[in-house]
Amino acid sequence: MMILAALLVQSAANPGLETRFNACVNLIATDAAAAQADAEKWRQENGGAPALHCLGLAFVAQDRFGPAIKTFEQAARQAAINRDGRAAFFYVQAGNAALAGDDPSQARQMFDAALAIPSLSTAQQGEAHLDRARALVVLNDLAGARGDLDAAVKLVPADPMAWLLSATLARRMGDLPRAESDIGTAIQKAPDDAAVAYEAGNIAYSMQAPKAAQAAWERAATADASGPIGENARRALQSLTAPPAPATAP
C-alpha cells in the first residue's frame, strides 16, 4: 500500500502543516485511537486533506476499513477541490483499504477513480493496476484482471508481485505456457520468496511435472517454515506423496 508517498504538496510553503501531519502519523504507531482523536480534532479545525489522510491511516491501523474508505474518499474529493494533485493518491489509499476490508467491489470503484486521474507516477499507476486486478479476481472478472496485470508488468516490471499474480492468473485461466514464463520471471526477481516458490509448484503440477512441483513446494515450505504459505506447501507435498486410495469393488 502506498501510505506515505507524496505527503504534502503544500509542505514547502507551510512547514507547520507538515509537522502537524508527521506528528499525527507518528502517533499511530504507538496509539492509533489517540491519533484518530487528534486527526478528528484537526479536521474540525479545517485541517483539510492532510487531517483526513491521517484519520484514514488511523482507521486502517485499527482495522476499521469501512470508515477508512470513506475518509480517504473524502480526502480525495477535498484534494480535487483544492487542485493539489493528490486526489488519485487518496483514491488508491481508499482502494487498498477496501481490499483489506474484503470489499472488492468498492476497491474496484476506488481504483477506477484513481486511474482516471492523470497524476499518478508510472510506478503508482502500475501498482494501482496490480491492486485493481486483485479486486477483479475476487469479483471473478478474470478478463479484466488479465488486462490490469498486463499493464502492471509493463509499468512495474521490477515488481515480482506483478509477475507472480500474472502467473497465478494465467494458470487459473488455463494458459500454462504464459504461467510458466511469468513465474520464471518472478523467480528471477525474488528467488527466495515463499509465495513465488509455492506458485511455481502449482504451475509445475498443473503441467504434469511432479518432480519440479515437489522441489518448488519444498523451497516454499523451507522459506516460510512457520507461516501459512509453508503450511500450504507441506499439505501439497503430502498429497503428492500420499498412497493412492484403494479401489472400490464394482
99 contacts 131 by C-beta, under 8 angstroms: yes
Question: Residues of the chain with pLDDT > 70: what percent?
Answer: 90
pLDDT in tens, 140-156: 999 999 999 999 999 99
71 and 122 assigned to the same domain: yes
| Position 28 in a domain | no
133 contacts 148 by C-beta, under 8 angstroms: yes
85 and 138 assigned to the same domain: yes
| Position 113 in a domain | yes
Question: Residues of the chain with pLDDT > 90: what percent?
Answer: 84
Nine-digit cell string for 83:
487542485
| Position 9 in a domain | no
Number of neighbours of residue 25 by Cβ within 10 angstroms:
20
Half-sphere exposure of 116 (CA within 13 A, CB side): 9
Domain end residue (candidates: 157, 192, 210)? 157
119 and 203 assigned to the same domain: no
102 contacts 136 by C-beta, under 8 angstroms: no
End-to-end CA separation in angstroms for the chain: 56
pLDDT in tens, 33-49: 999 999 999 999 988 89
83 and 151 assigned to the same domain: yes
d(CA 90, CA 170): 30
47 and 101 assigned to the same domain: yes
Query: Residue 232 belongs to what domain range?
Result: 163-240
153 and 167 assigned to the same domain: no
The string of DSSP letters for the chain reads: ---SSS--GGGGT-HHHHHHHHHHHHHHTT-HHHHHHHHHHHHHTT-HHHHHHHHHHHHHHTT-HHHHHHHHHHHHHHHHHHT-S-HHHHHHHHHHHHHHTT-HHHHHHHHHHHHTSTTS-HHHHHHHHHHHHHHHHHTT-HHHHHHHHHHHHHH-TT-HHHHHHHHHHHHHTT-HHHHHHHHHHHHHH-TT-HHHHHHHHHHHHHTT-HHHHHHHHHHHHHHTTTSHHHHHHHHHHHHHHSPPPPPPP-
| Position 91 in a domain | yes
152 and 184 assigned to the same domain: no
d(CA 250, CA 246): 12
Residue 9 has pLDDT above 80, yes or no: no
User: How many domains is the chain built from?
Assistant: 2
pLDDT in tens, 26-35: 999 999 999 9
177 and 233 assigned to the same domain: yes
pLDDT band for position 1 (50/70/90)?
very low
205 and 144 assigned to the same domain: no
Domain end residue (candidates: 106, 131, 157)? 157
What's the confidence (pLDDT) of residue 7? 41
| Position 177 in a domain | yes
pLDDT in tens, 173-218: 999 999 999 999 999 999 999 999 999 999 999 999 999 999 999 9
133 and 185 assigned to the same domain: no
The CA angle 150-76-97, to the nearest 5 degrees, is 60
What's the confidence (pLDDT) of residue 4? 39
| Position 20 in a domain | no
Domain end residue (candidates: 157, 191, 226)? 157
| Position 110 in a domain | yes
CATH number for 54: 1.25.40.10
Mean pLDDT of 64-75: 97
Residue in 24, 14, 89 with CA at minimum distance from that of residue 54 = 24
| Position 27 in a domain | no
118 and 170 assigned to the same domain: no
CATH number for 215: 1.25.40
d(CA 107, CA 144): 14
d(CA 250, CA 248): 6
111 and 169 assigned to the same domain: no
Residue 84 has pLDDT above 60, yes or no: yes
